[in-house]
Amino acid sequence: MSAGSISGNGNGNGNGNGNGNGEHRDSRFDEAAVGLPALADEALTETMIAAFDLLAHFWSRPVAEEMERWQKAGHIEREMLRHLPSSKVREPVWRPANVAEMLALLDEHERLFVGPGQVPCPPYESFWREDVPVDIRRTLTGPSTSDLRRLYRQLGLELSALSGELPDHVAVEFEALAYALSLEGTEQVAYRLFSEHLGHWLPRFCRAVAHEAEHGFYRDLATLTLEWVTATEDYFAAFDTD
């Protein structure tokens, strides 16, 4: 599965989400209308949008098309790193330099997130929720999945049948959050996507990835994502979401 943006969008300059390079990419979602960011600090909001969009790419299946985009998004990641709360200087996430490294990373992705066999870190929110009845823990398509569908509909979004993914896949949720922040008047939906969904389960998921990953890319990505959760908490705390 590869990350997609909202079809018919621009490049993050007030016309919607792009991939940070002025290019469009295939969408997991069917087309919806877009508006202007409505938050006070538009420059920071644009950084957040681009960062969520990049994280959607990073957590997608690392096929050649995805990794080509990673290589072009270094400036976005550098801007992300400037907003991290950690005082430690961080290096950008490692990128494959050749076909052999790309194939090794793809193998690791399949082992961690897809299978066959036991999957150490299913990349789905419903699997990691603990605030559900015991009999549906560690299962897919739980109550959080239904709530996400409702939030997506509030944004005018429907998950594309061509995406081949569930609504609560980590990359899909990041893409939807980026899209919500690019719209005018949907700050509350964006806040809910983070506070009731991504921010709720990502710490547990990322700690599992950091523990289970045998490849440095996913250990680094888990750390970056955990730190970005904290930065996002600070971002949403800076304005009134009521």
CATH number for the domain that contains residue 88: 1.10.3480.10
pLDDT digits (tens, 9 = 90+) for 14-50: 333 433 333 333 456 554 433 333 444 788 899 999 9
Residue 124 confidence (pLDDT): 96
Q: Is residue 68 part of a domain?
A: yes
* Phi (first) and psi of residue 29, to 5 degrees: -105, 150
pLDDT digits (tens, 9 = 90+) for 211-236: 999 999 999 999 999 999 999 998 99
Amino acid present at 110: E
Taking the whole predicted model, whether its pTM rises above 0.85 is answered as: no
Q: Is residue 55 part of a domain?
A: yes
Q: Is residue 97 part of a domain?
A: yes
DSSP 92: P
Amino acid present at 241: T
Q: Whole domain around residue 72: which residue ranges?
A: 42-237
Residue 123 confidence (pLDDT): 97
CB 123 within 8 A of CB 170: yes
Q: Is residue 9 part of a domain?
A: no
**Which is more confidently placed, 9 or 122?**
122
Residue 164 confidence (pLDDT): 76
Q: With bands split at pLDDT 50, 70 and 90, how would you rate the model's confidence at 143?
A: confident
pLDDT digits (tens, 9 = 90+) for 40-77: 478 889 999 999 999 999 999 999 899 889 989 999 99
Q: Is residue 193 part of a domain?
A: yes
Quote the number of domains for the chain.
Answer: 1
* Phi (first) and psi of residue 201, to 5 degrees: -115, -20
Residue 28 confidence (pLDDT): 63
Give the C-alpha separation, 56 to 68, whole Å. Answer: 14
